[in-house]
Structure 1
Amino acid sequence: MKALGLKFEPRRLSVFLTIFLLFIRQSCNAEVDRKVCLGTNNKLTKLGTTEEHYKLLKEMYSGCEIVLGNLEITYLESYHDASFLKEIQEVAGYVLIAFNSVKAIPLINLRVIRGNNLYKDSALHITFNFNESNNTLGLEELPMRQLKEILQGEVTITRNPRLCNLDTIKWKDIVHSGNDIDVKQSSPSHCPTCAEDCKGSCWGSGSANCQTLTKLICAQQCPGRCRGPSPSDCCHSQCAAGCTGPRETDCLACLKFRDGDTCLESCSWTNTYNLRTNLVEVGYKKYACGSTCVNKCPYNYMVTDFGTCVQKCSENSYMVPEHGVLRCIECDGPCPKGKICNGIGYGNLEGVLSINASNIDDFENCTIVLGSIVIMKFSIFGDRYTNTSAMDPAKLKKLKSIREITDVKNATNERPASGKSMLLKTN
């Protein structure tokens, strides 16, 4: 390993873990003037020690309002402070809450889960939140009092012996029809009862934790959500999670696309007639990037002729840098040769933590890597817990043909410098 200039010191593992969290696939669901974070795709994997894992979660989500990927809250101990999660408002993927002993997880501002990614078909999965060695410890309070809508995916809540009040929630008001609701939960005796004005449905004690209905109470004329039982209380059809008024600018969240403060069916294009050339010229007012309309595609995304931002060009097109923008160009005949490979966090390596003996051969002759190059201690020495074999360090020479790694960009401020949230604007 010295010949390759690589040293794997245990104290440096947290650096690699931070890099992995930081460079999980970037998405486009950024909102105007809201702090966003990338989220994770680790499922039930613990990254390092319990304290290292907690530190990484805290760095990722402190101040974060929009999670672009999945929100995975795992392995929080009873002495941990989970208040760093209280600013989160939207999650694009799934929410997984598992193997926690902490008493309270204050997701008090979470209003919508989009379910673009699912965990075992669930957009909300809450399980095994107790301490096996001390039955007096475990998750008791999960006051998601602003949660109004799960756009797709099921709800699974099971094996949380100390969790209170979630069995009182009218989940059919939150979950779209056709998705299963599996709540194997009954509030234990130590749990508070719902306040009288909650009418039997609450997230915790007191009137502030009453469940607010935005679908089951709506008038028949309403296209989706509402803020009351009257026909005049209907939300606009492009609203998700409720609204403060009838217009597309009054939505608490957008069902499909957000352009500034407005919720839209699709991002708008502008076609203009050129009097000089007598031709119709197609111009994009905004690009469609995830669920957001943006003036330009973010770093690592490619622009298509259809006004969209994509992470990979289609099979009949290829990527070309053009005036500082990565553009997908349709092939005129056979596409130019050059091997583009998936890196950590992309495609077949989406759920993989690091380069290792099982995937190093995939990088042979690669010129462009879509994703990250992550090398951890177990990349070389293997990991018996995940049944990962040791790898000959000489195999790292297979990386020598790589000319570009799309998820790493040094000496710029275009990427966040740590796992903390970043601010993205669409106007």
Structure 2
Amino acid sequence: MGHLVPLLLVFFGFGAPWPVLARTDNQTACGSLEINEIADFRKMQNCTYVVGHIRLAHVDFTAGNYSLESLASNVSEISDYLMVYRCNGLLTLQKIFPRLRIIRGQAQLFDKYALVVYENRNLRELGLVELLRVQKGFIRIESNPMLCFVETIDWMYLMGNATEQHYSLKHNKPHGQCPWCGGPLAEFDFLKNASEHCWNLNAAQLRPQPPRSKDCPPACGISGCDNAGICCDHNCVTGCYSQNCSLCANYQGKSGCVNQCIASYEINRRQCISKRECKDLGRIPLVRGYQCVKKCPGNQKKVLDAKGMIQCQVECKGDFHVKSAADLEDLQDCLTINGSLTIELTNIKEKIVEALENALVSVKEITGYLKVIHSAQLMSLTFLQNLDSIRGDKLVENKYALFVVNNYHLEHIWPPNHHVIIQRGMLFFHLNPRLCYEKIHQLQSSLKSGENISVADVSPNSNGERVICGDGVRSLKPVVEDLNSTAVRIIMDYMDWDGMETLIGYSYYYKEAPQQNVTMYDGRHGCGHDNWLMDISPNKSRRHVIRNLKPYTQYAYFVKTLTRTDYHIQIDAYSKIAYFQTLPDRPSPVVRIRGSSEISSQILLHWWPPSRPNGIIKKYLLTYEKQNVTKEVKDVSASIADLDCDCVDVLPYYSGPQPDDEDYYNKDQITYEDALPNLIYVSRYYDNRRKEFDKVVDYEHLLTMKKKEVPTTLAPTNPVLTNKTLVKKAAETYEMFRMKSEMRHKDMQDFDREKCKIRHAMPKCQNSHASVVQQVEEKCVVEETLNGIELPGNQHFYYIFNLEPETYYRVTVRACVDGVVNGCSNPAEALVKTTGLRIERLMKDV
């Protein structure tokens, strides 16, 4: 389990809705808290809200002289996550967090978790007796060998969004060896406040109920509705209506609970207040993100406006040297860099291009110089997409305003139709082997001085030496010829003879593109570690199939040629960005089914949607049947969480070799170097056709063999040809030669058609009872007849009524995609037991 240790820092996010207790505590907000020893608990004592996370790690509760009461905190809300890891001697969290009501999960660690309790060998119970919701994030409670009362918590009820959150309960104390809710005390009396869901023997799980849950509109789901049939607002944790709610799931606004602060300012990640209220609290209203802060961020300073009010103004003053993503923090939101900017990226494995795009998107002016050196990751400077001018108040070597040297993969400068004025200073471009000289020379018009670019400043030899430039660059026009749910066939125009002379093959670049706004250099990383995938076709076929695509997904793609370069022939070709969308397909099974029963005659089912929907989920099919369970079968309903496994999809490889490979440069360059020797050392005129020879039996047979006589040519009987006839004959002969050459030329690009075929799903048979033979002959498939309860594709819960008490039921759920024949997933199953009459009576008495 050691590999799970890094995953321990997690966010907590669950859902429960209605009133519990009113609070009158003084509201004090604290930042993130790191608790590593007993003395650190003093940090929490005066905190009501934690704007950040709380981490209890490696705390030894057996050391020191203290009382459990001294560790108690007033924390009722945690904005991020709670982690409890390897705390020796910790028996329960009830004394530490007696008032914790919500974990919001706003900033989840690893973008995944909100609550983690991991490897606490003495922990007996969680004891978060007032916890009502984990709004966002996953829950992971694992490897606590003495921990009980984990299966007795209704985690589904705590979740804020059940279809997006998951919980994992593994390797704790077996449920059969733990006490149960409503169990007997030492005197063998049953507890009076017993229920099916509890945190320990003395504390039932708080589950505020809506005014009513029956006969509500289907859109209400499990949130319930009021007596008028109006759905309760799930944003309110402690009430039915968000207008008078005492605890909001996201933010508390003036008019009630809201999902985000609009035209107001966020404070403590939980409340929306006006600009005046923010200033009355002695804070500063920050325009970026509309936050109410105590002090200005790192790259901003306090300034007084015309009315004498304090504001934060972005100050980007000085010379900035960007070597890694961490250096970009001071440049966030800069409009003008009052100084110079040097970009020298040192770590080729860091995915920094996207960070550059996010941090420098607002920059419009650099008052000094711009220097880009030794950055193999960069393929363009388009991350400065809004840069208008480089003033050149300070110059490199007192001469150069734009200094670009030794960037191996740089092949583009500014975005299309983007003009950057260089008000003072010159250009210096050297050792950029993939940046064409013509592209640099186009910056001549950007120089306000009007001075011509010299060869000494911009070398036509060291720039663009590894690529083909100028008139040798042509346009490709790829077209999607055919596609299915996981593959696409792309066909190119016929290449002419000049192109065929140098052509080695094609490279196909593609990426997922939800929106059709992709450019060729978006997020491109020169060393290959980006989200563009690449397929190499090292042959002259104009057809290519890209496989292993995701169903029902839009992709952007472009194509470029792989060519050899001669001194007298330099040709290369690119295509523009184009798009295609794969077809839908059968979905994967629903991720998980969870059943619970509080009434002996009904079961409440929840399920998570498929991890790979592969289309639009049109409906769910649900079936259930009574199941006879033998003595050998364990209580599946109690340990249903342990039956589920989290299947991790294999992530697609990143384009180019991986970071650990020696050859981290372009994949097409490696293919080029592998294919070129075969092209050079094998004569293009070599005739590989098999020649037939007469078989010789023995020596006598050889002597008897006669040489084939060449037939004598008869004297022509036609009259002597005139000049006009000769010209016509020559034209016909040339036309025949041209047509044969063209056909041979096309055959060289049209081979292996069978290998490029894409398999399609068979259509539905007209005859719904067609036999197997008929299906084969007509190339169709009979649509399956599936029985069950049909539910809409956006519903992920269902109540099953009229059941028998204390009885096992086998439940199956299928997800069905719209527009696909037999487009329902394999069934996911669960075994759920209805509650007994005694437990039902106890719960009604609570």
Range class of TM-score, shorter chain: 0.5 to 0.7
Q: 2:128 aligns to what?
A: 144
| Secondary structure of the structure 2 residue equivalent to 1:129 | coil
**Are 1:325 and 2:310 counterparts?**
yes
Q: Which residue of 2 aligns with 1:5?
A: none
Match 1:62 to one of 20, 45, 55: 45
Q: CA deviation at 1:110?
A: 1.5
Kindly indicate whether residue 281 of structure 2 is the aligned counterpart of residue 288 of structure 1.
Answer: no
**Residue in structure 1 matching 2:243, options 234, 248, 259:** 248
Q: Structure 1 residues 194, 234: CA separation in 2 closer, same or farther (over 3 Å shift)?
A: farther
Q: In the TM superposition, what are the counterparts of 1:151-166 in structure 2 within 5 Å? A: 151-166=135-150
SS in 2 for 1:55: helix
Residue 168 of structure 1 and its aligned partner are, at CA, apart by 1.4
Residue equivalent to 1:275: none
Letter in 1 for 2:77: E
Provide closer, same or farther for how the CA distance between residues 313 and 129 of structure 1 changes in structure 2, counting only shifts above 3 A: closer
Match of 1:128 in 2: 119
C-alpha displacement of 1:182: 0.5
Q: For 2:168 and 2:234, locate their aligned partners in 1 and report how far apart those are by CA, in whole Å.
A: 28
- For residue 238 of structure 1, report the CA deviation from its aligned partner: 3.3
In 2, are the aligned partners of 1:224 and 1:237 still within 8 Å (CA)?
Answer: no
Partner-residue secondary structure (3-state), 2:238? strand
For residues 10-409 of structure 1, the aligned pairs below 5 Å read 33-40=26-33, 42=34, 53-56=37-40, 58-74=41-57, 75-78=59-62, 81-83=67-69, 84-100=71-87, 101-106=89-94, 107-120=97-110, 121-130=112-121, 138-175=122-159, 176-177=161-162, 178-184=164-170, 185-186=172-173, 191-195=178-182, 198-206=194-202, 208-212=203-207, 218=213, 220-221=216-217, 226=223, 235-239=232-236, 241-243=237-239, 245-249=240-244, 251-259=245-253, 262-267=256-261, 269=263, 286-289=264-267, 290-294=269-273, 295-296=277-278, 303-304=286-287, 307-309=290-292, 319-322=301-304, 323=308, 325-328=310-313, 337=318
Q: 2:80 & 2:289 partners in 1: Cα distance?
A: 25
1:237–1:213: structure 2 CA closer, same or farther, 3 Å change rule? closer
> In structure 1, how many angstroms separate the alpha carbons of the residues matched to 2:327 and 2:90?
32
C-alpha separation in 2, matches of 1:252 and 1:225: 20
Shift of 1:70: 0.4
The answer for unaligned runs of 5 or more in structure 2 is: 1-23, 183-190, 331-846
Write the distance in 1 (CA, Å) between the matches of 2:102 and 2:290: 27
C-alpha deviation, 1:35, in angstroms: 2.3
Higher relative contact order (CA 8 A, sep 6+): 1
- 1:122/1:346 Cα in 2 relative to 1: closer, same or farther (>3 Å)? farther
Partners of 1:304 and 1:139 in 2: how far apart? 46
Counterpart residue identity of residue 31, structure 2: L
In structure 2, what residue type is equivalent to 1:182?
A: S
Task: Report deviation, 1:39.
Answer: 2.3
Q: Which amino acid aligns with 2:85?
A: A
Distance 1:125 1:104 in 2: 14
Q: Distance in 1 between matches of 2:72 and 2:321?
A: 37
Give the Cα separation in 1 of the matches to 2:78 and 2:205.
22
Distance in 2, matches of 1:242 and 1:140, equals 29
Contact 1:125 1:156 in 2 (8 A): yes
Paired position in structure 2 for 1:422:
none
Contact 1:162 1:188 in 2 (8 A): no
**Aligned-partner residue type, residue 112 of structure 1:** I
Q: Where does structure 1 lack aligned partners over 5 or more consecutive residues?
A: 1-30, 48-52, 131-137, 270-285, 350-427
- Percent identity between matched residues is 17
Distance 1:235 1:81, change over 3 A: farther
Shift in CA distance, 63/214, structure 1 to aligned 2, threshold 3 Å: farther
Could you tell me how far 1:147 is from its partner in structure 2? 1.5
Count matched residues.
272
Structure 2 length normalisation: TM-score?
Answer: 0.28
- CA displacement 1:110-160 (0-9 Å, x = unmatched): 211111122342101001112xxxxxxx11132212222111110000011
Q: CA offsets, 1:178-229, max 9 Å, x none?
A: 22210113456774321276442110013x32342669x9555475875889
Q: Is the 8 A contact 1:149 1:174 kept in 2?
A: yes
Letter in 1 for 2:91: K
Moved more, 196-205 or 299-308: 299-308
Given residue 161 of structure 1, which amino acid in structure 2 is its aligned partner?
P
**Given that residues 218 and 230 in structure 1 are in contact (C-alpha distance below 8 angstroms), is that contact kept between their aligned partners in structure 2?**
no
1:267 deviates by 4.0
Measured in 1, the distance between the counterparts of 2:243 and 2:132 equals: 17
- Cα contact 1:39–1:60 (8 A) shared by 2: no
Letter in 2 for 1:291: R
Counterpart of 1:172 in 2: which secondary structure? Answer: helix
Tell whether the 8 Å contact from 1:235 to 1:242 is kept in structure 2 after alignment: no
Check the 8 A contact 2:74/2:99 in 1, yes or no. Answer: yes
Contact 2:153 2:205 in 1 (8 A): no
Q: CA deviation at 1:347?
A: 8.9
Cα RMSD of the aligned pairs, angstroms, is 4.2
Give the letter for the 1:117 counterpart.
A
SS in 1 for 2:117: strand
Once the two structures are TM-superposed, the CA of residue 71 in structure 1 deviates from its matched residue by 1.6
Cα distance, 1:105 vs. partner?
A: 1.6
Question: Is the contact between residue 258 and residue 264 of structure 1 (CA under 8 Å) also seen in structure 2?
Answer: yes
CA distance in 1, matches of 2:207, 2:48: 21
Query: What is the deviation of 1:252?
Result: 3.9
8 Å Cα contact 1:82/1:104 also seen in 2: no
Alpha carbons 1:140, 1:164 under 8 Å: kept: yes
Structure 1 pair 321/238, CA: closer, same or farther in 2 (3 Å)?
Answer: same
- Relative distance call for 1:318 and 1:96 in structure 2 (3 A) is closer
**Residue 172 of structure 1, CA deviation:** 1.2
Whether the aligned pair in 2 keeps the contact of 1:167 and 1:186 (CA below 8 Å) is no
Closer, same or farther in 2 for the Cα pair 1:229/1:260, shift >3 Å? closer
Secondary structure class of the residue paired with 1:258:
strand
Contact 2:98/2:130, CA 8 A, preserved across alignment: yes
- Given that residues 36 and 66 in structure 1 are in contact (C-alpha distance below 8 angstroms), is that contact kept between their aligned partners in structure 2? yes
CA contact (8 A) 2:52 2:80 kept: yes
SS in 2 for 1:167: coil
- Amino acid aligned to 2:28: K
8 Å CA contact 1:226–1:234 kept in 2: the answer is: yes
Q: Scaled by the length of structure 1, what TM-score is found?
A: 0.52
CA distance in 1: counterparts of 2:173 and 2:128, whole angstroms: 17
Does the C-alpha gap of structure 1 residues 35 and 168 become closer, same or farther in structure 2, counting only changes over 3 Å? Answer: same
Q: How many angstroms apart in 2 are the aligned matches of 1:247 and 1:153? A: 22
* CA distance in structure 2 between the partners assigned to 1:192 and 1:35 by the alignment: 38
Q: 1:241-261 CA distances to partner (integer Å, 9 max, x unpaired)?
A: 332x53522x24213321469
CA contact (8 A) 1:114 1:150 kept: yes
1:169–1:202 CA contact under 8 A, matched in 2: yes
Q: Larger radius of gyration, structure 1 or 2?
A: 2
Contact kept, 8 Å, 2:114 with 2:136, in 1: the verdict is yes
